[in-house]
């Protein structure tokens, strides 16, 4: 079809108003299951400390009638543990002119950026807690201090690939040695759950799984019964609760951990200790702009790592 000569089209027009939707679409995930579910504690120094203890192993205990006590049991002291605090922050600086102009999707640019940066900071901390093979570090005037995170604490209960190794001590001073990758199996998960039951009087309540391993875990059979939702005519093919010989755990997807790890967690035995809770500060105005700082200082408290475990080196 031909266009009649002289037809005025938008391609040549001047002064057309823009069509910009007054909504900003941001679908980046912000769920942080580890931070959300573990406990909270108060740190009062840059080196936060706590104590753990354990019962002696069972012995053959049979005594003679009327026997006098001439020897006494060995008294083992508690174990004193600690972790350094880590400072995490986000910043924003907005020119006064940017605040003055009319904008689409937000009225106040600084308020929008502060809300966005706050969510980013939460993701950063979650990644540090469960997604980094990070030992504690005191820091100095040129090196930032670091908190030992979950991977650096778990030593007692594990299922590892060939060549893999746990930290040599369960005190946050070491890191994991990654082994050869292998497929994730139900046997591996049961192995770690069984180890935890053997040494701990408290059951884990959560297994944190990256996307690839959560998909695999949904194929595990165990004692899980798959059901059909008759009303919706829908077959349920995923597992959220996994029942095993000694209890049950929730299988929780975690976006910010390494794809090679599956963490079996007792949330009662971990806590985030804040020396300075995450808060917003106004920075000094030095020019024609407004500056904000979102900052917090935190540490991870591993109340007893033997109540948790890891299936590592998963492909």
Which are the contacts of 99, defined by CB distance < 8 A and separation ≥ 6? Answer: 108, 109, 110, 290
Alpha carbon distances (Å) from 82 to 155, 265, 277:
16, 19, 19
Alpha helices for the chain (secondary structure H): 33-37, 96-100, 109-130, 150-153, 186-199, 211-217
Average pLDDT value for the chain: 92
pLDDT band at 3 (very low <50, low <70, confident <90, very high): confident
Percent of the chain with pLDDT over 90: 80
Which tens digits make up the pLDDT trace of 210-251?
999 999 999 998 655 454 455 555 545 566 889 999 999 999
Which tens digits make up the pLDDT trace of 64-121?
999 999 999 999 999 999 999 999 999 999 999 999 999 999 999 999 999 999 999 9
CA–CA gap between residue 188 and residue 191 (Å, rounded): 5
**Phi and psi, residue 242, nearest 5°:** -110, 120
Which tens digits make up the pLDDT trace of 257-271?
999 999 999 999 999
Tell me which H or E stretch contains 247. Answer: strand 247-253
Q: Of 16-30, 168-182, 222-236, 290-304, which range is least confident?
A: 222-236
Percent of the chain with pLDDT over 70: 94
Among residues 280, 261, 309, 254, the alpha carbon closest in space to that of 36 is found at 254
**Phi and psi, residue 217, nearest 5°:** -60, -25
pTM of the complete model: 0.88
Token pair of 269, please? Answer: 């035995």
Which are the contacts of 256, defined by CB distance < 8 A and separation ≥ 6? Answer: 32, 123, 126, 127, 130, 131
């Amino acid at each position: 079809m031909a266009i009649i000569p002289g037809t005025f089209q938008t391609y040549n027009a001047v002064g057309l108003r823009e069509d910009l939707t007054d909504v900003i679409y941001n679908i980046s995930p912000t769920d942080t299951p580890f931070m959300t579910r573990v406990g909270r504690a108060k740190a009062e120094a840059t080196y936060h400390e706590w104590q753990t203890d354990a019962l002696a192993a069972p012995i053959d205990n049979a005594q003679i009638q009327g026997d006098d006590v001439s020897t006494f049991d060995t008294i083992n002291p508690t174990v004193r543990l600690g972790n350094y605090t880590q400072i995490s922050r986000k910043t924003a600086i907005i020119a006064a002119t940017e605040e003055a102009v009319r904008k689409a999707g937000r009225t106040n640019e600084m308020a929008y950026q502060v809300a966005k940066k706050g969510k980013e900071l939460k993701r950063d901390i979650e990644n540090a807690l469960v997604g980094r093979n990070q030992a504690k570090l005191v820091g100095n005037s040129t090196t930032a201090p670091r908190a030992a995170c979950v991977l650096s604490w778990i030593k007692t209960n594990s299922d590892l690939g060939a060549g893999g190794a746990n930290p040599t001590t369960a005190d946050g001073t070491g890191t994991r040695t990654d082994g050869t990758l292998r497929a994730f199996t139900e046997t591996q998960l049961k192995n770690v759950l069984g180890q935890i039951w053997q040494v701990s009087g408290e059951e884990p309540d959560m297994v944190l799984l990256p996307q690839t391993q959560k998909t695999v875990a949904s194929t595990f059979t165990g004692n899980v019964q798959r059901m059909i939702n008759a009303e919706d005519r829908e077959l349920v093919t995923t597992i959220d609760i996994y029942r095993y010989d000694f209890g049950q755990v929730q299988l929780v997807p975690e976006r910010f951990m390494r794809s090679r790890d599956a963490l079996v967690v007792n949330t009662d035995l971990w806590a985030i200790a804040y020396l300075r809770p995450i808060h917003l500060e106004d920075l000094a105005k030095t020019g024609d702009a407004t500056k904000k700082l979102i900052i917090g200082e935190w540490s991870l408290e591993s109340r007893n790592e033997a109540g948790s475990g890891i299936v590592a080196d998963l492909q």
